[in-house]
Structure 1
Amino acid sequence: MDGTPYLLDPAHWSGPGSIPELVLAHLGYTGLALLLGVLVAFPVGLLIGHTGRGAWLAVNAGNAGRALPTLGLLMLLVTLMGLGRVPVLIVLVVLVLPPILTSTYAGLRSVDRAAVDAARGMGMRPLQVLLGVEVPMALPVLFSGLRAAALQVVATATVAASVGLGGLGRLLIDGLALNDYGRVVAGAVVVAVLAVVLDVLLALVQRAVVSPGLTGRGARRRGSRPPTPAQSRLDADLA
Structure 2
Amino acid sequence: MGAIADSWTWLTTGANWAGQSGVWHRLGEHLWFSSVCLVLACLIALPIALYLGHIGKGGALAVNISNIGRAVPTLAVLVLLTLTPLGRQGDLPTIVALVLFAVPPLLTNAYIGMREVDAAVVEAARGMGMSGGQLFLRVELPLAYPLVMTGLRSAAVQVVATATLAAMAGEGGLGRIITNGFNTYNTPQVVAGAVLVAALALLVEALLVLVGRLFDPMRRRSVAAAPAPAAAVVKAV
What range describes the TM-score normalised by the shorter chain of this pair?
0.7 to 0.9
Local SS of the residue matching 2:20: coil
Once residues 110 and 164 of structure 1 are traced to their aligned partners in structure 2, the CA distance between those partners, rounded to angstroms, is 43
Is 1:55 the counterpart of 2:59? The answer is yes
Q: Which residue of 2 aligns with 1:82?
A: 87
Written as runs of structure 1 = structure 2, the 5 A alignment for 1:4-15 is: 4-15=8-19
Aligned to 2:229: none
Identify unmatched segments of 5+ residues in structure 2: 226-237
Q: Is the 8 A contact 2:50 2:114 kept in 1?
A: yes
Summarize deviations over 1:194-239 as a string: whole Å, max 9, x none: 00111000000111122644244648xxxxxxxxxxxxxxxxxxxx
Unaligned runs of 5+ in 1: 220-239
2:71 aligned partner, one-letter code: A
Conserved in 2, the CA contact under 8 Å of 1:48 and 1:54? yes
Instruction: Tell me what 2:32 maps to.
Output: 28
Distance in 2 between residues matched to 1:147 and 1:157, nearest whole Å: 15
Runs of 4+ in 1 over 6 A off after TM superposition: none
Q: Is the 8 A contact 1:49 1:109 kept in 2?
A: yes
In structure 2, the residue matched to 1:206 is 212
C-alpha distance in 2 between matches for 1:127 and 1:76: 42
Q: Given residue 143 of structure 1, which amino acid in structure 2 is its aligned partner?
A: M
Q: Which residue is 2:154 aligned to?
A: 148
- Does the 8 Å CA contact 1:61/1:102 hold for their aligned counterparts? no
Helix, strand or coil at the partner of 1:82: helix
Please tell me whether residue 178 in structure 1 is matched to residue 184 in structure 2: yes
Matched to 2:79, the amino acid is M
Shift of 1:66: 2.5
CA apart distance, 1:40: 0.7
Q: Percent identity?
A: 44
TM-score (norm 1): 0.87
Q: Following the alignment from structure 1 to structure 2, what is the Cα–Cα distance between the partners of residues 38 and 218? A: 29
1:228-239 aligned at under 5 Å gives the runs none
2:19 match: secondary structure? coil
The structure-2 alpha-carbon separation of the partners of 1:216 and 1:134, relative to structure 1 and needing over 3 Å to count, comes to: farther
What SS does structure 1 have at the residue aligned with 2:130?
coil
Equivalent pair of 2:53/2:114 in contact (CA under 8 Å): yes
The Cα offsets for residues 40-62 of structure 1, whole Å up to 9 and x where unpaired, read as 10000011111111122343145
Name the CA distance, whole Å, in 2 between partners of 1:145 and 1:156: 16
TM-score, normalisation: structure 2:
0.88
With 12-21 and 87-96 compared, the bigger mean Cα shift is at 12-21
Q: Hey, what's the Cα distance between the residues in 2 that align with 1:119 and 1:133?
A: 8
| Rounded Cα–Cα distance in structure 2 between residues aligned with 1:212 and 1:86 | 38
Counterpart position of 1:128: 134
Q: Relative to structure 2, which stretch is displaced further, 62-71 or 116-125?
A: 62-71
Change (3 A) 1:153 1:94: same
Give the direction of change, closer, same or farther, for the CA distance of 1:59–1:213 in structure 2 (3 Å limit): closer
Asked whether the 8 Å contact 2:114–2:140 carries over to 1, the reply is: yes
Q: Offset of 1:89 from its aligned partner? A: 0.4
